[in-house]
Chain A
Amino acid sequence: MENSPNYFDPQVLARLEGLSLRARRIVEGYVAGLHHSPYHGFSIEFAEHREYAPGDDLRYLDWKVFGRTDKFYLKQFEEETNLICTLLLDVSESMAYRGPAAAMSKLDYARSAAAALAYLVLQQQDCVGLTTFDHQVRATVRPGSTPAHWKELIRVMEESSPGRETALAPIFHELAERTRRRGVVIVLSDLFDEVEAVLTGLKHFRHRRHDVILFHVLDPAELDFPFHDVTRFRGLEGWNDLVVEPRALRQAYLKQFENYLRRLQQGCRAAQIDYVLLRTDRSLGLALASYLAARLRRSRM
């Protein structure tokens, strides 16, 4: 066992080829068996209509409404199926950042986390869906629970490349409107956007009675600002470049960033959104396991 690799070390995880393998390693290592669906045994009832969006299952098209209004509406039901988990993966340009101390970019780390979570959910015979987005929805995999669905999830995630700037609030609003069936919404993003707008978007999910879990993926460099020499910071997502002396700005930056995190965390707490900070230099498995363990403890109380 001494020679077996530590799959929770991001450095080791990064060397593993393939998101599928990474996810399995993470789940099989620590997370497996921890989760029990809080939604098991619910019956299905009609809830409401909503407008069709690309990727929606055509089986739920209400052809009667189509006949009356010449518009596509989906019938939405209170499902009696098991847990439906929706993964919202931020693939904006900022997620491509990988600091000097990190083994992988935030996007890679988020993908790994998303894959692990999807694998975990599928292991429990629950359904899991995926939406990638930057300032708009880039790809959507509707919830499913088959092995083929798993492969589809992995494919979409692996093919997702960093896009453009983020616009989280509209995206969240749109997805909240679209995801009518109660479930678990897991957001994986660096959330570099206006805090209030982000929180408003997330609250929209809560308004839809989703259980929202926010995995805030950050690079250690963004948290610690470890730069020394004069550096030209090339702005991502449309920001202008800045040439600064990091040592002189470090305290001010950290203060600004902590303020941002505090506001975000306080907003999540107020909205009963689970906030989980994922540092890309820390073990993903440990982070997920500790969060899930805590969640399990909370659900049993």
Chain B
Amino acid sequence: MVLNVVGDMTLFAFAFAHPAMLAWLAAAAVPILIHLWSRRRYQETPWAAMEYLAAALRQRRRTLLFEHWLLLAIRTLVVALVVLAVAEPVEERGGLAAAPGERTHRVLVLDGSFSMGYTIGEKSRFEQAKELAARIVRASAPGDGFTLVLMSAPPRIVIGQPSLAPSEFLREVELLELPHSTADLPETLRQVEQVLLAARREQPRLTREVIYFVTDLGRVGWSLEGKDAATVAEFRSRSERLAEAASLVVIDVGQADAENVAVTNIRSRRPFATLTRDFEIEATLRSFPPRARPGQSVELWAEGRRVARQVLDLPAAGEVKIKFFHRFESAGDRVLEVRVPGDALEIDNRRWLAVPVKASVPVLCVEGRSTAGAKDAATRYLALALSPRPEESPLVRPEVVVESRLPEMELDRYECVFLADVAQFTSAEARLLGRYVAHGGNLVFFLGDRVQAERYQAELGKDQPLGIRLLPGQLGPTVDRVETRLDPLGYRHPVLDAFRGRERSGLLTVPVLKHMRLDLAEAGDSPVGAASSSAATARVVLALASGDPLVVEAPAGRGRVVWVTTSADTSWTYLPLWPSYVPLIQEMLDFLIRGQLERQNIGVGEPLNALLPATLGEMSLEVRDPRGRVETVRSRREDDRNAWSFAETWISGVYSVEAKTADTVTSSQSPGTDDAAALVRPNVFAVNVDPAESDLTPLNMEELRNETWPGVPFVHQRSWEPIDERTLGGTVPSNPWAKNLLGGVMVLLLVETFLARRFGHYD
């Protein structure tokens, strides 16, 4: 039963916890019946002084009638109010049952995983979720507070402090866009708890808490499979805590039979493209759930136009790889896109690859032994290996300089710096190299007779500015022992990827006459102090049969450092004479340069960041996102770095960056604005979705109840509908309406007693 009272543009209605009790409202007629019955049941007496009784009656007739009706009305009302109180009325605004005077903090958690972009009909799941959120807000009582959390990875608190203005809150909901991320439920719950804790401190009058999860219950987001035990335990205890204090409502907007085809991967073998060769990429298509799909069209787009199209059959396994070739027409940062025609989930139908298209790859070779180009130069074979056919306008053009020129070189111009048999480095040189690596440069050290291990250790084994350590272990002593077998260590390192399955390439039979030991295990015992990040993450690429590392690679700063523990020429090894030398050097260079490609191709939610030449000084950059919106970021100079970063990569697609034309360059030595714009590299980034979210399989109720939230009370709804929140978890206060009604009964009883006595109906 619902009672409606309309007033002041607000519709109030009441529902009852025990509507059957309302049948007792008929008892409200009892006082009237008693009155009528008592009039029929009277005692009788003769009366002599009738004249005065009749006069009294004439005098009081109207008053008596009024008093009778007033008392009858009060008595009837008393009975009615008692019945209403017993029936426990609860205020209902459009369906939300809540007790009066009680304000509720409603936390709306909208699933921000991109599977919410699945669209059946005109509206996506996310649009439906926003509409449900709006309905919940509109149906709430005045005084309720609303917060909004987007369940993405990482989760985003959109409105953290309870908003008491529904219209403003709804405006925020309306503006909310679906990010193209996955969902991180444990972290989302942590954020929700933080929001609730803050709200309890700052808005203590919001005594009730309800958390709405409007979600498609995607398995990727809601299943705890693959998560470590500590995370699961923390998640469950937090869930129980939340359920004790708040009501949990899961509103499921998903479809159990949803199908999807996605481009789950796109990669290139080479780290950059050239203008002279076709660039090869490999895309992976997958159907969810796995099933054969004949005649699937796949397109390659470049520079805003379709450049290739293939039609293939997806096998029953549901996954297929497809190769495309494309030749770029101009150098610079370019983007390739693989696209499958639309299905119900558009977001993962496209995948982008930002590719640096290079006309040349500048490489510096630092000669430590002789003059550049001399026959005994340590870099002689190295330069040849880097540019095996110099007469064919090679892409890689190594510049060889003697070590004495190192301090004067502008290292940031080079993609990679090879250092061969350099005896030692001064502190200034070490800092120079450290800064170069920190900015994204790559170093390859070859050793030799001139190398003074202790000097290397002293200068390169210590932390440089920005926390860079170039030497990832303990170097030395020199081992003068011929080794003829190399250990590829299972070809695990990408540098050796090309050699996998090609044992006859000669890689494993290289005679190494001398090498210098590089003990990575001792890195932590170095006198400099604790192992730096480069030492901790150093990987042995290739080892000698004795186990000593021959090639070690370690990330450092934004770049990488490779240590080859033998010489670059034939003084310590015959490697330069071996057929595997050139491919090894080329693969090494590819691997080192690939860092740029990796920084240009990131996942949704990962920040864009890059360095500007230090000489530019701090400047503003405009980042244009896939929707064409432009955000301005400003670079920051710190410790000789001039870095910029942009974190708002919630949408998949291509982000471009350029110098803001009106920006004032702060450095007096800076080049002009046009030059500055040219120096912003890379200027294109590809942001792609996590393909795991393409699997639209929802978590079923049993899994949700038994695995994700065992023992946690929650309400599951297929579509939002009113609930009696008092029946859920959390502290349930007594029903103030019922209390008020009983209070009213007490007041009426007092009034009735007073009036009856005053009217003379009681002695």
Residues of A in contact with B (beta carbons under 8 Å apart)? 93-97, 100, 106, 190, 192, 219, 222, 227-237, 239, 242-245, 247-253, 255-257, 260
Contacts and interface: CB of A to CB of B under 8 A. Distances in A.
A94 B759 contact: no
Given A227-B45, A232-B42, 5 more contacts: A106-B48, A242-B54, A245-B64, A245-B761, A248-B759
Contacts of B546: none
Given A231-B43, A232-B42, A249 B53 contact: yes
Given A247-B763, A248-B60, A248-B64, A234 B53 contact: no
A232 B60 contact: no
B168 interface: no
Contact of A244 (B49, B53, B759, B762): B53
B47 A97 contact: yes
Interface string B19-48: 000000000000000000011011111111
B56 A253 contact: yes
A233 B67 contact: no
Contacts of A232: 42-45
Interface in B637-677: none
Contacts of A237: 48, 50
B410 interface: no
B760 interface: yes
A249 B64 CA distance: 8
Contacts of A249: 53, 56-57, 60, 64, 760
* Top 8 closest pairs, chain A to chain B, by CB: A252-B56, A94-B48, A239-B50, A233-B47, A253-B56, A97-B48, A230-B42, A256-B52
A192 B48 CA distance: 8
A222 B761 contact: no
A239 B760 CA distance: 25
Contacts of B44: 231-232, 234
B59 interface: yes
Interface in B56-73: 56-57, 59-60, 64, 67-68
Nearest to B44: A232
A251 B760 contact: yes
Contacts of B59: 252, 256
Contact of B53 (A94, A97, A100, A253): A253
Given A230-B38, A243-B39, A247-B763, A235 B50 contact: yes
Contact of B42 (A97, A100, A231, A248): A231
Contact of B60 (A190, A231, A239, A252): A252
Contacts of A235: 47, 50
Contacts of A106: 48
A242 B46 CA distance: 10
Contacts, number: 101
A219 B52 contact: no
Contacts of B43: 229-232
B56 A247 contact: no
A65 B759 CA distance: 67
Contacts of B51: 192, 239
Interface of B: 38-39, 41-57, 59-60, 64, 67-68, 759-763
Contact of A250 (B48, B50, B67, B760): B760
6 contacts: A95-B48, A233-B46, A234-B44, A242-B54, A243-B42, A248-B60
A230 B760 contact: no
A190 B51 CA distance: 13
B50 to A, nearest CB: 4
Contacts of A239: 47, 50-51, 54
B757 to A, nearest CB: 10
Nearest to A256: B52
A246 to B, nearest CB: 9
Give the one of B44, B56, B57 with max A CB within 10 A: B56
Contacts of A219: 48
Contacts of B762: 247
B752 to A, nearest CB: 14
A226 to B, nearest CB: 10
Contacts of B763: 228, 247
Given A243-B42, A248-B67, A252-B60, A192 B759 contact: no
B405 to A, nearest CB: 122
A3 to B, nearest CB: 36
B57 A236 contact: no
A96 B46 CA distance: 9
A192 B49 contact: yes
Contact of A257 (B38, B52, B760): B52
Given A228-B763, A251-B760, A222 B56 contact: no
A220 to B, nearest CB: 12
Give the one of A97, A232, A242, A252 with max B CB within 10 A: A252
B41 A233 contact: no
A249 B41 CA distance: 18
B67 to A, nearest CB: 7
B761 A230 contact: no
A232 B68 CA distance: 18
Give the one of A95, A100, A233 with max B CB within 10 A: A233
B50 A231 contact: no
Given A222-B48, A231-B44, A233-B45, A242 B760 contact: no
Contacts of A190: 48
Contacts of A230: 38-39, 41-43
B743 to A, nearest CB: 29
Nearest to A239: B50
A256 B39 contact: no
Contacts of B49: 94, 192, 222, 257
Given A252-B59, A253-B56, A229 B42 contact: yes
A239 B43 CA distance: 18
Contact of B47 (A236, A247, A257, A260): A236
B50 A242 contact: yes
